[in-house]
Each structure stands twice: as structure tokens, then as C-alpha cells.
């Protein structure tokens, strides 16, 4: 008989909602993580379908009038596209690969938004061929480039990505609302107005509204409220100078999640209420109709739904530190190396020996910076063969994974109601070698 062990809610707050402590293991979606590791091997990503769907429904409840497009860059596969489609979401894509996968997986084209600061002609042609709902223009040259590709007797709906001059986000590399970065056109410098005028001059383009994205891992609604104020003022100026009233406003995503106990995620219900009030207030101030709101959460949907599972290979004690080396690392989770991200690590599959100690969990890759978690508490008797699990692993890990050292990327397994199924299979050595097509020239 399974024994469910009561555990403080705070200890499981960053794990998928279906997580339970049963005997010596954690279960997610009704399946023990130890069982999944034995069945599918490690490293392994586990994605809880129930948590994905519950989070989607929380967004829909908070913002029933808004359009919600999932940011595909966080993580994308055909199974996930199916869940999102069924929950009434659209997709925000930024490459021809994401675009084609979305189409193959059955996402209606009108629900797809194409982004990108440097879209290739092939990406633009693919978007037009598929009939995507909107293309977000990122610079002053794009309106003419895109219009030249639009066929006769057609019009493509577009938005202009503007820079409101608001810095937000957990790390300077993921702040995209300020002036000194590569995305969008500046309102303060006049570049945004110039881009809007260029779009209005193209008969084959229909300007539906403005887009902005402030950054990633934002845990407060304040930057969004500031952006709404700036964008409403800009919209009013466009109306007054050019007689155009834009019907849509896209506030992007960047909604933060908690990676460790005690951290705070962006509260979506409060975000929705505050943004809705601010938008209505600012539009009333300028006698503007309230535009249709669009948001693009990514990490907030899949991040809390995922768990990474690793197997310990080596425990090494040095003069000042204990290193616990696992069979994954920076190639399947580059966030700690890129952004200094901190996360939770937990022993699963057995109960530790009582006492704990501070260790540094490192990966198997040939880089001294391959550190997954520095100075975390793990049982003192940690040893090779043990399993470690890392929560909040469903976004920006598998999607950013590489094949460094010619190691294949881990599989992604979906769990729900006690069942597991593979979404992405493990990348094998044969897969990697198949790309190497060099044949030596015959001698003589």
C-alpha cells in the first residue's frame, strides 16, 4: 500500500501541482519519478500535462476578453501545441522551424503571431504562405520588405514592435524594453512613429496595433502598468497626427515564475485586474477606445509544469567543497551558466540518511562553469546512482539545449493520471553522426 507523506506546502510550491510525496519518491502526474528514470533513462525531462492545462485555464479565467498566444521559444513540440490549441491559446513564433511545427501540429494559422528582429525572406514567405494572423515588424525597413512579398489583392495584418524605454527582467540579457538593445523601435527617439508611418504607406499591409515586450522573469505588475501608460500616450499621438485609431495592443510576456521556495511568481489574477484598470483609465484620459489586449506568456505556462531528473555519477570532495556530478549539465540546462539562475535540487527515489550538507551540483561537460546548482543542501549520504530532481524545468531548458561534447539531448515525457508518454525521444549518437556527411576523397 502506498504511503502518502504529508509535507509542508512551501516545500512543494515550485513543483508541478500534481506532485505528491509517496513513500521514498516524488510522483508527478501520478507517476513516480524513480519509475520514469528507470523506464526512460536519465537525464530526463518530465512535463505535467495537468499543470499546463490548469495554468492555461487560469489565464483564460483572468483575461477572458484577451487573446493569449503562448511564446513558443520557451518550449515547443507537437503534443504541447495540441494542448494549447484545445485550451484556446494561440502561438507566438520567431523562426520558420517554430512556424512549420505549429502548422504541422494543427494550430490555426490565424492564431499564430510571427516575431523576430531579423526575419529572413524565407520566414516571411512561409508566414504569408500559411496565412499567419499577424507579423510583428521590428524595424523601419521591414514594412517595404514584407509588402513586396505580399501577393496582389492581399493584405497582411501587422503590428509594430515599439520600445517604451522601460527596463524589466531578472538579468540584463533578458531585458528587452529599454533603449539599448536589439529589439523594436524607440518611441522616445521617434523611430516608432516613423515605422508606423511607413506601414500606413503600404497598401498591402494592415496595421492592427502596437507590440512591446519588456523582458523575461518579471515578477511585478508595475513595469506593465508603466508600459500601458506610455503606449496609450503614443496611441493618442498617432490618432491626433495621422487620424488612425489602432484596435490592438500586445503587451508581450515575460511573466516570472518561482524557481525556489520563498520566491514569488507574477500573480496573473492581479496582473489582469491591474492592467485592465490601467488600460481603461489611460484610454479614457485620451478619449480612446480600449484596444483589444494580447499577451504572450511562455515560461509561466510550461516552466512550473516541468521537472528535470538526473542520476549522480560522481561525488568528489576537495579541500573546501563537495561536488556532486550528474549525467546532464549545461548542455541540457544552460540557464545557470548564462544568467546565474538559481534553482531547487532534491534527492528522489529514496530517503536520505538524516543529516544534510552543502554541496555543488555540477554537470558532465568539459567546462569548469558547468554548474547546475551551487551551495545547495542535499543528504550527507548522497552517492553515485542516486537520482536528483530539479523543478520548474519546463521552459528555456530543453528549448535551449545543445549537443555540446556530442551528447544527445534528453527526452521529454508527458505525465497525466498515472500514465506517461514520450513527447520528444532521446537524441542518440546515431542521430548526431547522421548529420556528419563528410566523405574522404579517394586517393590515387
Active site residues: 366
Query: 257: number of CA atoms within 13 Å, CB side?
Result: 28
**Cβ(226)–Cβ(265) below 8 Å:** no
CA–CA dist 310, 209 (Å, integer): 45
Distances (CA, A) of 125 to 121, 144, 155: 6, 14, 14
B/e letters for 347-363, b = 16+ CB within 10 Å, e = fewer, are bbbeebeeeeeebbbbb
**Cβ(68)–Cβ(61) below 8 Å:** no
User: Per the structure block, which three cell numbers stand in for 112?
Assistant: 499564430
Calculate the CA 239 to chain-centre distance.
Answer: 34
**Cβ(389)–Cβ(26) below 8 Å:** yes
3-state secondary structure 200-264: HCCCCEEEEEEECCCECCECCCHHHHHHHHHHHHHHHHHHHHHCCCCCEEECCCCECCCCCCCCC
Helices and strands (H, E) in the chain, number of each type: 12, 21
Q: Given the C-alpha cell 484620459, which residue does it identify? A: 285
Amino acid at each position: 500500500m502506498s504511503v502518502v507523506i504529508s509535507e509542508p506546502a512551501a516545500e512543494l510550491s515550485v513543483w508541478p501541482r500534481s506532485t505528491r510525496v509517496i513513500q521514498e519518491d516524488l510522483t508527478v502526474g501520478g507517476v513516480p519519478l524513480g519509475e520514469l528514470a528507470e523506464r526512460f533513462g536519465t537525464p530526463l525531462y518530465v512535463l505535467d500535462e495537468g499543470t499546463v492545462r490548469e495554468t492555461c485555464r487560469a489565464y483564460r479565467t483572468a483575461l477572458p476578453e484577451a487573446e493569449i498566444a503562448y511564446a513558443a521559444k520557451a518550449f515547443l513540440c507537437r503534443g504541447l501545441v495540441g494542448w494549447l490549441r484545445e485550451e484556446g491559446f494561440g502561438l507566438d513564433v520567431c523562426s520558420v522551424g517554430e512556424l512549420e511545427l505549429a502548422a504541422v501540429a494543427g494550430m490555426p494559422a490565424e492564431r499564430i503571431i510571427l516575431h523576430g528582429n531579423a526575419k529572413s525572406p524565407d520566414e516571411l514567405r512561409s508566414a504569408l504562405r500559411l496565412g499567419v494572423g499577424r507579423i510583428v515588424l521590428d524595424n523601419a525597413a521591414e514594412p517595404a520588405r514584407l509588402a513586396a512579398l505580399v501577393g496582389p489583392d492581399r493584405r497582411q495584418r501587422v503590428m509594430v514592435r515599439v520600445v517604451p524605454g522601460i527596463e524589466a527582467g531578472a538579468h540584463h540579457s533578458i531585458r528587452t524594453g529599454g533603449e539599448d538593445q536589439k529589439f523594436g523601435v524607440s518611441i522616445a527617439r521617434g523611430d516608432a512613429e516613423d515605422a508606423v508611418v511607413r506601414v500606413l504607406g503600404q497598401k498591402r499591409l494592415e496595421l492592427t496595433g502596437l507590440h512591446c515586450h519588456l523582458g523575461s522573469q518579471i515578477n511585478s505588475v508595475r513595469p506593465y502598468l508603466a508600459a500601458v501608460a506610455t503606449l496609450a500616450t503614443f496611441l493618442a499621438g498617432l490618432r491626433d497626427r495621422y487620424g488612425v485609431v489602432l484596435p490592438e495592443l500586445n503587451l508581450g510576456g515575460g511573466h516570472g515564475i518561482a524557481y525556489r521556495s520563498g520566491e514569488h511568481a507574477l500573480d496573473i489574477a492581479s496582473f489582469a485586474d491591474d492592467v485592465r484598470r490601467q488600460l481603461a483609465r489611460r484610454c479614457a484620459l485620451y478619449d480612446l477606445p480600449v484596444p483589444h489586449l494580447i499577451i504572450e506568456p511562455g515560461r509561466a505556462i510550461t516552466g512550473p509544469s516541468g521537472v528535470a531528473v538526473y542520476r549522480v555519477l560522481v561525488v568528489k570532495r576537495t579541500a573546501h567543497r563537495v561536488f556532486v556530478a550528474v549525467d546532464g549539465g549545461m548542455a541540457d540546462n544552460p540557464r545557470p551558466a548564462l544568467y546565474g539562475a538559481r534553482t531547487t535540487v532534491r534527492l528522489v527515489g529514496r530517503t536520505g540518511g538524516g543529516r544534510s550538507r552543502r554541496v555543488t551540483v555540477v554537470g558532465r561537460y568539459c567546462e569548469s562553469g558547468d554548474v547546475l546548482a551551487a551551495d545547495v543542501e542535499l543528504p550527507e549520504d548522497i552517492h553515485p546512482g542516486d537520482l536528483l530532481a530539479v523543478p520548474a524545468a519546463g521552459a528555456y531548458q530543453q528549448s535551449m539545449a545543445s549537443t555540446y561534447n556530442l551528447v544527445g539531448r534528453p527526452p521529454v515525457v508527458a505525465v497525466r493520471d498515472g500514465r506517461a508518454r514520450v513527447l520528444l525521444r532521446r537524441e542518440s549518437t546515431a542521430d548526431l553522426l547522421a548529420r556528419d556527411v563528410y566523405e574522404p576523397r579517394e586517393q590515387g
